[in-house]
Structure 1
Amino acid sequence: MKKWSTELMLLGVVLVWGANYTVGKYGLTYLTSLQFNALRFLVSAPILLGLTLLWEGSIKMERTDLKRLLVVGTVGISLYQTLFMISVHYTSATNASLLISISPIFTGIFAVLAGQERFSVRVQAGSLIAFAGAAVVLLFGGNHQAQLYPHEWLGNLIGLIASVAFGWYPILAQPLLTKYSALRVTAWSSVVGAVSLLGASAWTFPGIVWERVTAEAWFSLGYSILLVTVYGLVAWYVGISRTGATKVMVYMYLIPLVAVWTAALVIGEQVHLQQIFGGLIIFVGLWLVKRQPQKKKEPVSIPTQYR
């Protein structure tokens, strides 16, 4: 029973994160990506710290780790989340989810460059295949959606950059993850992100006419705080603690599928042959990378991209 409850919980995370590619679009109907994320992490960061304190009995981090924490929070929360929301705004949910899904490829490349993993022909071959799939999505995925997303090329490009940022995130965080839990690192990273996002957008808040913020935007914000960030992260780490990171990461590959079907059902996005073909190529590349035997210093993936 415990096994089934864990699997159902993780499937719930997949549904929540996959649907966020569509729900997130409504959050930007009036608010900018900076404003949206500043509000989101101002609320979710204290909740995550509270949950960390409840589960672990401490939220302490050593002073010597603060510099790295600032970098991790800036890249993994401030930079990535802002780019993610911009990408979701300008391109289709299908393209955004497929482009973000190649972030493990960048993690593998950065791990080699950082000396955390050895060079592997199989991993690099998988990376090249996944890049080819991403190129198909970038170059041919938007030919039929020009009216719906006139700036889709920009959203695709930003989605690719967001994938690079998220791929870099676990490499930067790896030294912290050898000393602290992933939940504690993510909670404090969210604090850093909240402060930096607020600092970057505070000057715009006096200009917001709050009565103009749509009900859909408030729903999107609440969805992002409670379901995507709090429930999603906590359930994900519970799943990892019960079944292990390797088995849990398999669920990540279901998220683009949920994103595609949600977008089709809710906002009528069409899925075209080029996108399907590009997605299949990407998943072949990811399969090759994940087939590689685990290394002792394999970086821990922090799945915050679908928040």
Structure 2
Amino acid sequence: MRNSFRVHAALLFVALIYAANYSLSKDVMPRYMGPFGVVTLRILGAVLFFSIIKYFVAPQDRILGRADNLRSILCGICGIGVNQLLFFSGLNLTSPISASLLQTIAPIVVVIASAMLLSERITVPRVLGIAVGVAGAGSLVLSRNVQAAVYPQATLGNVFILANATVFGLYLVLVQPLMRKYHAFTVLSRIFLVGAVIAVPFGWREVFTANYASFPLYIWLEIGYMVVFLTILAYLLNNWALKYASPALLGVYIYLQPVLAVLIAVGLGKDHLTWGKAGQAVLIFLGVWLVSQKPKPVPAPEVPLMPVQD
């Protein structure tokens, strides 16, 4: 019972960390720092942290072989570099609620990528879920709402967030074999290093040209939040909880994150929930729920008994 409480507490805290980021990031971007600068600070902080921890907890662990090294590079490109550049670029242009809802389609991408790369079966409910989820996401991406004056480039931002969720879903499929074979910090230190190689050329100028003297205390705290809580603490808690949480429990918190993001955004006055967005959210949630249903195992064919030969 005590461990169950800890798992729920960890998953809830992770959901809160991710949900709050949609609104807090809007304070930083673009007034104090551009999205690429935020990505660069976040990834460099993670590289430093995970490399130091890896040195102490798994000093002898190495990613070996050409195939695994290529996979780790691809994971760093998809899961860290391109993923973060797309996410913060999109969040900079669109509303917190739209971004949080579009992020929820990642499980749909995981199912499609698993079918293509791992030959997993796609059942009729999953096909229906993909169609419903894509319809909801497409409607949200193309919609124009009352905040068009606040976010004139919201459509482009929504496209970036949708692309972010797609590459992140692909990353989740690609990284599984590495996580099973190597220590988690070995994988993380490598993929964040690759991500830094991708992100730093885009963001170093924004990092060095930012007027840090004009940053009020709350902006420093929010940047620290994105580096420490969003990147490091969220992973550590999530990684621990995944060892004990059931798929059904993880599904609950997948749906909880955008709900919390909506409450935080509305509570802080960063966004407004409309009936249109609510309907799009229902379509996306329904699609994700359908694709999350595991297909029933196919019964093994009966082998006829062969007559015993003398």
State the TM-score bracket (shorter-chain normalisation).
0.7 to 0.9
Name which of structure 1's ranges 177-186 and 187-196 shifts more when overlaid on structure 2.
Answer: 177-186
Residues 1:114 and 2:117 aligned together: yes
5+ residue gaps, structure 1, are: 296-307
TM-score between both structures, scaled by the size of structure 2: 0.86
Partner Cα separation in structure 2 for residue 66 and residue 170 of structure 1: 16
Partner Cα separation in structure 2 for residue 116 and residue 246 of structure 1: 23
Secondary structure in 2 matching 1:267: coil
- For residue 124 of structure 1, what is the amino acid of its counterpart? V
2:36 equivalent among 31, 34, 40: 34
- Residue 209 (structure 1) shift: 3.5
Match of 1:300 in 2: none
- Residue 184 (structure 1) shift: 3.8
Match of 2:252 in 1: 250
Question: Kindly tell me: are residues 234 and 294 of structure 1, through their superposed partners in 2, closer, same or farther at Cα, counting changes over 3 Å?
Answer: farther
Q: Where in structure 2 are the equivalents of 1:140-155 lying within 5 Å?
A: 140=143, 142-155=144-157
Partner Cα separation in structure 1 for residue 156 and residue 170 of structure 2: 21
**Total equivalences in the alignment:** 295
Match of 1:286 in 2: 288
Q: Give me the identity figure in percent.
A: 28
Partner Cα separation in structure 2 for residue 204 and residue 266 of structure 1: 27
C-alpha offsets along residues 169-208 of structure 1, whole Å, 9 cap, x if unaligned? 1222233234124554233211211232123333555434
Match of 2:84 in 1: 81
C-alpha offsets along residues 84-130 of structure 1, whole Å, 9 cap, x if unaligned? 10111111111001111101111111221223412322212110010
Match of 1:197 in 2: 199
Residues 1:137 and 2:140 aligned together: yes
Match of 1:173 in 2: 175
- Residue 210 (structure 1) shift: 3.0
Is residue 87–residue 96 contact of structure 1 (8 Å, CA) maintained in 2?
A: yes
Which structure's CA Rg is the greater one? 2
Is residue 14–residue 237 contact of structure 2 (8 Å, CA) maintained in 1?
A: yes
**Aligned alpha-carbon RMSD (Å):** 2.3
Partner Cα separation in structure 2 for residue 201 and residue 42 of structure 1: 11
Q: Where in structure 2 are the equivalents of 1:1-307 lying within 5 Å?
A: 1-28=2-29, 29-55=31-57, 58-64=60-66, 65-140=68-143, 142-203=144-205, 205-244=207-246, 247-293=249-295
TM-score between both structures, scaled by the size of structure 1: 0.87
Partner Cα separation in structure 1 for residue 54 and residue 245 of structure 2: 20
Secondary structure in 1 matching 2:244: helix
C-alpha offsets along residues 221-278 of structure 1, whole Å, 9 cap, x if unaligned? 2101111111100000110123355533431221101111111111341100010001
